[in-house]
Amino acid sequence: MASSPQRPFTRRQLLQRSGLVGMGWLTSGCSSTWLANQVGQRTEPLNQTVEALLLKPQTPVPEFPTSAIEPLDALLINTFDTTPEIDLQTYRLTIDGEVTNPLQLSLVDIQKRPRQSMVIRHVCVEGWAAIVQWNGAPLRELIALAKPKSTARFVYFESADGYYESWDLASALHPQTLLAYQRNGQPLSIENGAPIRLAAPIKLGYKQSKWVTRVQLVSQLLPQTGYWEDQGYEWFGGL
């Protein structure tokens, strides 16, 4: 395997060295407890603020050579519920909310957009990682088509299986945040999120929703911020 691109420290490493993430991980179990909720309420705003300051919204993350791409089974398949059945002919991606030009895009519409390829490390909060090549449409270009209002600050993602997730707008507009429809040069499999999934080198795996059906821009976070976040996981989920 090729060596990892050299970076001084990831955002998460900097936070861990400063002690700001340590308490956040206490709340990262799959079930909530009173203590976890209390700790999360006190540390989460600080974590979010510091991580947002460390994010460089327009700076690409160093990528890997194609020779570093790992076998298909290196990317483990985690499912939130059951794998949904999606008719590719009738599939539509909705982009709405705080926009002036709401969109309904078919898979063909998305594939007609300029395609971007990247080889990045997909990192799961469970402790494993895989180097993967993703191909797809830059999310920021699709959001630009919808003409976001100045009030938009966050982005919600809804999935065909009922999974939901939210990001800060700056992360969604990062040049390497894709709505991917290919993996390692081949059409995305349904298990990996076909027809469309999120892929980005700046977020942990649980932030990268599969089977995305809706992208909603909002001015404020809703009470439900994300499936795992609502059970104690860190909201920003950055790398």
Residue 119 makes CB contacts below 8 A (sequence gap 6+) with 63, 64, 65, 66, 68, 69, 131, 132, 133
The CATH number of whichever domain residue 180 belongs to comes to 3.90.420.10
Q: What is the mean pLDDT of residues 7-11?
A: 40
127 lies in some domain: yes
Name the pTM for this structure.
0.79
Provide the domain count of the chain: 1
237 lies in some domain: no
* Residue where the block lists tokens 């404020």: 220
186 lies in some domain: yes
Q: How many CB atoms lie within 10 A of CB 191?
A: 12
3 lies in some domain: no
Give CA–CA dist 149/99, Å, rounded: 5
160 lies in some domain: yes
Domain of 149? 11-231
164 lies in some domain: yes
2 lies in some domain: no
Q: What is the mean pLDDT of residues 17-26?
A: 35
137 lies in some domain: yes
Taking only the tens place, the pLDDT of each residue in 167-209 is 999 999 999 999 999 999 999 999 999 999 999 999 999 999 9
Across 23-32, 99-108, 120-129, least confident range:
23-32
